[in-house]
Structure 1
Amino acid sequence: MIPILAILPVIAHHKARHHDNEIQIMIQNLPEWMQAGTVILGVVILILLGRYVFVPFLRYVSKAGMTELLTASSLFLVIGVSELMTVIGLSPALGAFLAGVMLANSEFRHELEAQIDPFKGLLLAVFFVSVGSTINFNIIAGDPLFIFSTVFAVLAVKFVVLYAIGKFFRIDTPQSLFYAFALSQVGEFAFVLINYASGLYILTPELNAQMMAVTAITMCITPFLLIINDTFITPRLIKEEPKTGQDFNILDRQVSQKKIIIVGFGHFGSTVGRLLKANKISATVLDRDSDRVKLLRSYGFKVYYGDATRIPILRAAGIEDAENFSALPR
């Protein structure tokens, strides 16, 4: 996404338009060949700020012990980064995406995920409603041959490429088919790219509406493609019994699929964690001490900040896939 958004102004040969609120775009007076480099440099600086400024700031906020303050600070960072992207002439959705990636890669991932979980379903419904509202049925009725032929071409090309990638990485045929069907639609960031390209006069308003319709239709078709795959294709490829002579170590498979979560990295937790790490067994650690979280992450532990007494935190950490123990030594 980032290179594409950086290259589009160079392709357009037009200056980006002012926003309705007349915010001065910082890069609009630069030569067109410098705009792409400026955008990429800004994104790199933003990533460095996220690692060396934003995360330490959240660590400082977390010491107050107020969950609401941590959530508000995270939202402040997301909104601030979005506004920064708007000022330099990019989409605020790109800024929100970058800020979300930075927060998702931090030790506060599970804590924030638990906080926004009640809103996830609501916002997901709003997203799909907005996808449906972008479909201009008059445009589809005006040129249905172009619309649906483009939809078929996009789905077919992406399906072939994804299936080839799956086979290249030696994924079996049923999983490669599922992988290809599930991701054959146009991604949601196409809405950002299409609108941004229209703002740079690369796409005409009519072509903009047609591409938006194609994107939305591919998303609507995906569930039906998955149903066809699960109903007619996969059952014919999956055999009921394994091949003779094939060794299935059920115990090893169950152990490898189980998730291990260590709650707190005190005396007992640190002993268990070091033992698992010495045997090259990965485990997820939850701890409320932000300084300890920072220290453990520097040693290569997979540790996140969070209160493990809260059920949403445990679910975000994957407690449903974790091994259950009836008792632990004290």
Structure 2
Amino acid sequence: MTAYFIQAFIYLIAAVIAVPLATRFGLGSVLGYLVAGVAIGPVMGLVGQETTTIQHFAEFGVVMMLFLVGMELDPKALWAEKSKLLGLGGLQVGLTAAAGMAIGLWAGLVWQTALAVGFIFALSSTAIVLQTLNEKGLARSEGGRSAFSVLLFQDVAVIPILALIPLLALPELVGTGAGTEAHGSNVSLVAHLPAWAHGLVVIAAIVGVIVGGYYLSRPLFRYVLQSRLREVFTATALMLVIGIAALMSLVNLSPALGAFLAGLVLANSEFRHELEANIEPFKGLLLGLFFITVGAGIDFAVLSEQWGLVLALGAAVIAVKALVLLILALLFRIRGSNGWLFTLGLAQAGEFGFVLLTYSVQNSVVPPDLAKILSLVVALSMFLTPVLFILYERVVLPRYRRTTNDEREADAIDEHAPVIVAGVGRFGQIVCRLLRANNIAAVVLDHEIEQIENVRRIGIRSYFGDASRTDLLETAGIAQARLLVVAIDDRERSVRMVEHVKQFYPGVWVLARAFDRGHGYRLRQAGADDVVRETYHSALEMGGHAMTALGVHPLRSRQMTWAFQQNEEAHDDDLYEAWKDIESGIHFSSRYGELFMKLEETLSGVMQSDWDEPSREDVPIWTPPRED
């Protein structure tokens, strides 16, 4: 038992140290897990042969991830993507397998082994790709959705590939498979059935998952909720996913595919959010453990002997898959940065490659010595996947943004208005809508094409261009404008813009959006006439609602928020002067702190002052919420 505790501690401390460091440097959590695995495995030798066993257990994290992905999808939306799912996914698997087979034949492999190798490298890493897409907020982009369609098809394609591999057995390799005994220990309900009976059992299992998930899950969860014990609901959620995975394994189907179908069935369930909340922590831990075992499982002895061959094969796998994916991106009109996201995101082998590799050795299709090298190639390509995403994020994406924004000329502005709004993101849009609702004309500018297109869809006329450019401001009519609203999403540009306008057009009233108190003081120093912190009023409003939820009368709560705001405004000048001294290099942090504490004391006194409760005739009847 002590040995298990020590091993668990080693895995956890490696993750705790490596992942935050990788995230801090913008490398992503997946690369952090992989590096942690390399550190505790091949480098330090703290973990050993048990990593393979742990990896099989940790692969359940992929099953949980696809269950959660299924719950986030609308079946109608999935059906709408059927052309990508079948066409794009089918062509990717077929063309990549054919290319891999051709390279294998050129290298002197027999056609059976070459075909198996082609299938092994045709599959990409569902775990790494989906985790990274979600982590970087790219899952809903066109490139992300196309990548998911291909990954889903690959998971389905594993089933016929597993059925095909035993038919490729080579007589001269029989008895050499290292994993033959392990294979024989697997439990299967269809191992000795004829093909027609096997098909019927598979169909029955899929129908059972769909029908059971739709009709039986709701009564089950309602029954469990009657216990009012959260841990029982968690156990039920795990039981559901594990049971589906076991059923799929018993009929030789992909457990991940079964979990995805179950998640899809439960997508519109009233228990969906509770299920996600209960399964998400287990999914994250198991996926992290899986990535660590991939890094720890790299055999440095074989790598040191065959490092040139492994690196060459790894580069060839990524290059060939990227070429196939790039051609498919062009055929299916996945253009621009989305095409490169699709290409670089899937240009690796995946965790199912280990499964197919082991299965191929067990069934005398791939020689064990070759399997060791190919296993390193699969691990290496997975290890490089986060690097490909970093390449996309830091090299490809900025280039396309510059091409889209910087190379496009600013729109010709053919109107003037008393108000100029610079920036129509989530903040500036509200200002524009309020102005339009009151029939106040405004010239709207933004440097992001996407934002311009969004506001044009809701009927707000806007122009592409960098509002901080002096010539564009003059074209927009800054000399005749009465008000300039600065709502651009860039601290430095907004300060420079305010400085320029107040220097050359002092008669224009400048209303500026600030990110925080410090940015607000910089805008005020630049000459802004009015500064609004973007989260200040929403936080104040929520504070008022919090007081009401705790039993404070709504009018008293409103009075408190007004008093808070007035108290802030009364002390703002003093805080601003203290801030200017700090910005000038004079260390007056103690003075600033004293002023802030004085503000808090005054605020506390205001909040605790008496007030006259309104009569029933003056306000609507209000009943405080119950304490329970």
TM-score w.r.t. length of structure 1: 0.64
For the pair 1:166 / 2:329, whether they are aligned, the reply is yes
Partner of 2:215: 56
The 3-state SS of whatever aligns with 2:344 is helix
Query: Could you say if the C-alpha distance between residues 232 and 82 of structure 1 is closer, same or farther in structure 2, counting changes exceeding 3 Å?
Result: closer
How well do the aligned residues superpose, as a CA RMSD in angstroms? 3.5
| 2:159 alignment partner AA | I
Query: Could you say if the C-alpha distance between residues 23 and 146 of structure 1 is closer, same or farther in structure 2, counting changes exceeding 3 Å?
Result: closer
Query: Could you say if the C-alpha distance between residues 68 and 253 of structure 1 is closer, same or farther in structure 2, counting changes exceeding 3 Å?
Result: farther
State how far apart, in whole Å, the 2-side matches of 1:133 and 1:41 are. 41
Shift of 1:42: 3.5
Q: Deviations over 1:103-152 (max 9, x none)?
A: 32023543321112223332222011111122111222222232122111
- Percent identity, aligned pairs only? 30
Instruction: Give the one of 160, 182, 205 matched to 1:46.
Output: 205
The 3-state SS of whatever aligns with 1:170 is coil
Query: Could you say if the C-alpha distance between residues 197 and 70 of structure 1 is closer, same or farther in structure 2, counting changes exceeding 3 Å?
Result: farther
State how far apart, in whole Å, the 1-side matches of 2:361 and 2:389 are. 32
For the pair 1:250 / 2:454, whether they are aligned, the reply is yes
For the pair 1:140 / 2:303, whether they are aligned, the reply is yes
Partner of 1:100: 259
Contact 2:210 2:262 in 1 (8 A): no
Partner of 1:11: 168
State how far apart, in whole Å, the 1-side matches of 2:249 and 2:346 are. 29
For the pair 1:113 / 2:272, whether they are aligned, the reply is no
Shift of 1:45: 2.1
How many pairs align?
250
State how far apart, in whole Å, the 2-side matches of 1:39 and 1:254 are. 55
Contact 2:205 2:248 in 1 (8 A): no
| 1:58 alignment partner AA | S
Shift of 1:186: 1.1
Which of these two proteins has the greater Rg computed from alpha carbons? 2
Shift of 1:237: 3.5
Contact 1:198 1:205 in 2 (8 A): yes
| 1:249 alignment partner AA | E
State how far apart, in whole Å, the 1-side matches of 2:334 and 2:289 are. 35
| 1:187 alignment partner AA | G
Shift of 1:69: 4.2
Partner of 2:344: 181
Contact 1:2 1:40 in 2 (8 A): no
Contact 1:150 1:214 in 2 (8 A): yes
Q: Deviations over 1:25-81 (max 9, x none)?
A: 4444457xx3xx655544332210011124322111122225544443343243334
Partner of 1:318: none
Shift of 1:165: 2.2
State how far apart, in whole Å, the 1-side matches of 2:242 and 2:454 are. 48
Alignment of 1:159-308 (within 5 A): 159-238=322-401, 239=403, 240-241=405-406, 242=408, 248-251=452-455
State how far apart, in whole Å, the 2-side matches of 1:27 and 1:189 are. 21
State how far apart, in whole Å, the 1-side matches of 2:385 and 2:288 are. 17
Partner of 1:294: none
TM-score w.r.t. length of structure 2: 0.35
The 3-state SS of whatever aligns with 2:216 is helix
| 1:217 alignment partner AA | L
For the pair 1:75 / 2:238, whether they are aligned, the reply is yes
| 1:43 alignment partner AA | V
Contact 2:361 2:367 in 1 (8 A): yes
Query: Could you say if the C-alpha distance between residues 133 and 118 of structure 1 is closer, same or farther in structure 2, counting changes exceeding 3 Å?
Result: same
Contact 1:134 1:212 in 2 (8 A): no
State how far apart, in whole Å, the 2-side matches of 1:178 and 1:55 are. 35
Which structure has more RCO (C-alpha within 8 Å, separation ≥ 6)?
1
Shift of 1:214: 0.9
Q: Deviations over 1:89-113 (max 9, x none)?
A: x48xx22x13321232023543321
The 3-state SS of whatever aligns with 1:249 is helix
| 1:214 alignment partner AA | V
Shift of 1:17: 5.0
| 2:164 alignment partner AA | I
State how far apart, in whole Å, the 2-side matches of 1:225 and 1:30 are. 44
Partner of 1:129: 292
State how far apart, in whole Å, the 2-side matches of 1:217 and 1:38 are. 40
